[in-house]
Structure 1
């Protein structure tokens, strides 16, 4: 892919508020979801889930949970992007199994990372007790040397998983646009109702709901507005 092609893809992607009635082929959605899973993620622990809502009953409930906004009610498909803060244990175990099966090709430091560093980094303990212990430890160690200071709380874990989930959501949206369709990432929703509709575990955090479909003629509300580059890009 040339830089110009990628530039064209990024510039032409817009958040679409109204979609046409054209369906999105199932194979397109599946391929784009597969591409979402190729996004970079912390320690390859993949703390994400993508709930493609196929049931008409659940879709109607989800539209209401998204405040019945036009992007939700006119979308051909709705995908709920969920960050998980508790799946790191089983995914770390999967990584260990894979690495140990290739032990002659994998450095011992990589195996030790998943055996020792990952449990230390992500375990918070009951009532966040271990998180508080880590907070004190990194505070003291930080006087002498740089040290990772997060995650040391439930909120830190939500932030950690949400960052990874958002990276994958961007992959998803760009992939859908590359296939000739459009998206709208929605943050206006009732998270509690979404948890109930999807029967999500308690460690789940809904990052966004992505509406998918073909842009209607009136689907984009206006020109893209971005503020001055100097406000956001800093050279130090």
Structure 2
């Protein structure tokens, strides 16, 4: 599917068919997700994938009964490792010479050390990029999605044994739609949201 067609046709679907994605398809989707950009290439996103119905049902209950969580083929909980920058950062640049690799690792530590606000901000940005990649890749593969933040973050964290130095950003559910999305509510005109050079 053409990229612009995927963007135009992607909608947040609330009702899914009973359909099983293959492991190969899930891997294809995640291989696309890990091509998403991250600051300093620290690749701080982490993806908890859920296909077991009993766990999807528990996630549905923690999502205030939103049925798309239970019905979808796949639930992806997008998390981030807040300390990814300090976990052997040279490995993020393994394909470049040692000298520049060490310089980048030093710059990474200088940027993040003692800066929890930046850690969290980058976590959210990184997961946002990855979520959009997942949704567009899924659409290109013939699947539909729904990004979600309407759930109990703490209880979902407990359910998935979220490490203490990680944070949940959002969930994206993936599957074959059972119903079309409602008509778009209405997009603002470019003239209201685009400014040239300054406000």
**What's the TM-score once normalised by structure 1's chain length?**
0.77
Deviations 1:161-214 (A, max 9, x none): 110111011111111110101000001010001110100111222111111111
Q: Which residue of 2 is the match for residue 133 of structure 1?
A: none
Cα separation, 1, equivalents of 2:86 and 2:75? 29
Q: Which residue of 2 is the match for residue 202 of structure 1?
A: 164
- The 3-state SS of whatever aligns with 2:87 is helix
Q: Which residue of 2 is the match for residue 185 of structure 1?
A: 147
- Structure 1: state its 5+ residue gaps: 125-151
Is residue 64 of structure 1 aligned with residue 61 of structure 2? Answer: yes
- Structure 1 runs of 4+ off > 6 angstroms? none
- The 3-state SS of whatever aligns with 2:11 is coil
Which of the two has higher C-alpha Rg? 1
Displacement, 1:111?
2.8
Deviations 1:20-70 (A, max 9, x none): 223223211210111000011110100100100133332221111111112
- Structure 2: state its 5+ residue gaps: none
Displacement, 1:9?
1.3
Instruction: Indicate how the Cα distance of structure 1 residues 62 and 6 shifts in structure 2: closer, same or farther if over 3 A, else same.
Output: same
Cα separation, 2, equivalents of 1:110 and 1:86? 19
- The 3-state SS of whatever aligns with 1:169 is helix
Counterpart pick for 1:36 among 33, 36, 57: 33
**What's the TM-score once normalised by structure 2's chain length?**
0.90
Q: May I ask how many residue pairs the two structures share in their alignment? A: 197
Q: Which residue of 1 is the match for residue 108 of structure 2?
A: 118
- For residues 13-52 of structure 1, the aligned pairs below 5 Å read 13-52=10-49
Displacement, 1:222?
2.4
Cα separation, 2, equivalents of 1:223 and 1:67? 24
- The 3-state SS of whatever aligns with 1:24 is coil
Cα separation, 2, equivalents of 1:222 and 1:193? 33
Deviations 1:56-105 (A, max 9, x none): 33222111111111221321211101122112222504236x25xx53xx
Q: Which residue of 2 is the match for residue 80 of structure 1?
A: 77
Cα separation, 2, equivalents of 1:21 and 1:190? 25
Tell me if the contact between 2:53 and 2:70 (Cα under 8 Å) persists in the aligned partners: no
Instruction: Indicate how the Cα distance of structure 1 residues 67 and 155 shifts in structure 2: closer, same or farther if over 3 A, else same.
Output: farther
CA RMSD of aligned residues (A): 1.9
- For residues 136-215 of structure 1, the aligned pairs below 5 Å read 152=115, 154-215=116-177
